[in-house]
Structure 1
Amino acid sequence: MRMVIAGGHGQIALRLERLLAERGDSVVGLIRNPAQADDLRAAGAEPVVLDLESATVAEVAAVLEGAEAAVFAAGAGAGSGAARKHTVDHAAAVLFADAAEQAGVRRCLVVSSMGADVRASGGDPVFTEYLRAKGAADDDIRARTALDWTIVRPGALTNDPGTGRVRLAASTGRGSIPRDDVAAVLAGLLLTPATAGLTLELVSGADTVPEALRTATTV
């Protein structure tokens, strides 16, 4: 299968690229910084330099042409201001979805965030804007009928080694999860079309990844 991952140099994306390449998939990672290309190649992915904050739908669709699935794992990242939460976490997600539709790519995964909600308020103002931007992007994706989308909302992310044990459900309660395990779940979701149309929270738990994927299809 050919997969295209937006935000290809992100910590989750690099882990996902390795997993997909190891199982024999062809993986393309979109990056904005050419200096990151070698990291993607080391993970087994083909780097394509394309800035989603300035690219057109047609430019992104050209990269997505012929892919079986698209994964939006981009984010403005720590240290960015509120404005970039909306240009990356919201607007770039919408652009990527538009491009997937134009290219005829139906399967689409979106890495969102637990608590993503356009009505979020209070607390750190930049983080609030981040949640609002993620929530707005999720709302846009959920309104689309031309995509077989699944939205994944992980809890607090850690760099601890993955355990292979997770909880994946419409509502999991607060919790944390290693990025290794998020990547493993995303890789599994790409082979689980029955999860299309679901918004799923993800934290560490008692289920193996295959068990969690089977349970999620009954949500």
Structure 2
Amino acid sequence: MKNVLIIGAHGQVGQLLTDKLNADAGYTPVALIRKEEQRALFEQKRVEARVASLEDGVDALAAQMNGIDAVVFSAGSGGSTGPDKTLTIDLDGAVKAMEAAEQAGIKRFVMLSALHTDDRNRWTDAEGMKPYYVAKYYADRILKGSKLEYTIVRPGALKNEDGTGKINTAEPDKQQDVPRADVAEVIREVLNQDRTIGQIIPFTRGETPIREAVG
């Protein structure tokens, strides 16, 4: 059984992933949350919660990774914050999480990124999104240059819909979005398959079963 630390567990994808791993006999999810008042949600699920801020130092984050086998970074500053928080959470927070994982001796690291992050020509400034793409681009780039056994998942626009269990990785531009539930399932399946180590997986909704699509 693998202990998986979900950074950003209180977020929408994070909660879905927590539930999926909690129902999977192969995993024990551990929620990393930034507010003590968020703990009750996970206690109800019988999931251990650890409190830390991504604006803390690397040593403080590494201390929360004791006994952890893999880290999933699904945190984000959110749409209601400014570019400053995007910089400190989505970029520097992600990098500190990588450094903390290395310090704690953890090898496996899964990054939740975004479709077209690696293509500057596709970055849109609609709704102030460009700083988010910039942050994700450099966080992904630093992860690729690290010693971690990484997988980067890059979904299209996230939707609050029931998951279909199917995605499109071959031609993700055929669709623009994907249910959050399917994103969580992609991450779970990535953790199941060591062949995804060192891979970047762009995807949107589609017709290929997730296990087959990421395999």
TM-score, structure 1 as length reference: 0.90
Q: Which residue of 1 aligns with 2:136?
A: 134
One-letter code of the match for 2:140? D
In the alignment, which residue of structure 2 is the partner of 1:209? 210
Instruction: Measure, in 2, the Cα distance between the counterparts of 1:181 and 1:47.
Output: 24
2:31 to 29, 34, 40: 29
Shift, 1:117, TM fit: 4.1
Match of 1:149 in 2: 150
Cα 1:43–1:158 change in 2 (3 A) is farther
The one-letter code of the counterpart of 1:94 is V
Amino acid in structure 2 at the alignment position of 1:49: V
Sort the Cα spacing of 1:212 and 1:17 in 2 relative to 1 into closer, same or farther, 3 A: same
Q: Residue 132 of structure 1: SS of its match in structure 2?
A: helix
- 1:52 pairs, out of 51, 54, 59, with 54
Q: How is 1:61-140 mapped onto 2 (pairs within 5 angstroms)?
A: 61-117=62-118, 119=120, 123-124=125-126, 126-140=128-142
- Answer yes or no: is the 8 Å Cα contact 1:6–1:72 preserved in 2: yes
Is 1:39 matched with 2:41? Answer: yes
CA contact (8 A) 2:71 2:109 kept: yes
Normalised by the size of structure 2, how large is the TM-score? 0.92
Whether contact under 8 Å (2:160, 2:179) holds in the other structure is yes
Structure 2 unaligned residues grouped into runs of 5+? none
Counterpart CA distance in 1 for 2:131 and 2:206 is 29
State the aligned residue count.
211
Distance in 2, Cα, partners of 1:213 & 1:99: 27
Question: What CA RMSD, in Å, does the superposition of the two structures yield over aligned residues?
Answer: 1.7
Report deviation, 1:153. 0.7
| Shift, 1:172, TM fit | 2.1
Task: Measure the CA separation in 1 of the matches of 2:119 and 2:88.
Answer: 15
User: What's 1:217 paired with?
Assistant: none
| Percentage identity across paired residues of the two chains | 34
Tell me, which stretches of 5 or more residues in structure 1 are unaligned? 215-219
The CA distance in 2 between the partners of 1:23 and 1:200, in whole Å, is 22
Aligned-partner SS, 1:190: helix
- Secondary structure at the residue paired with 1:163? coil
Deviations 1:148-198 (A, max 9, x none): 0000111010011111111235x6225210001110110111111111111
Give the distance between the partners of 1:10 and 1:44, measured in 2 at CA: 17
- Structure 1 moving runs of 4+ over 2 Å: 40-45, 117-126
Report the AA paired with residue 140 of structure 1.
I
Q: Distance in 1 between matches of 2:126 and 2:85?
A: 15
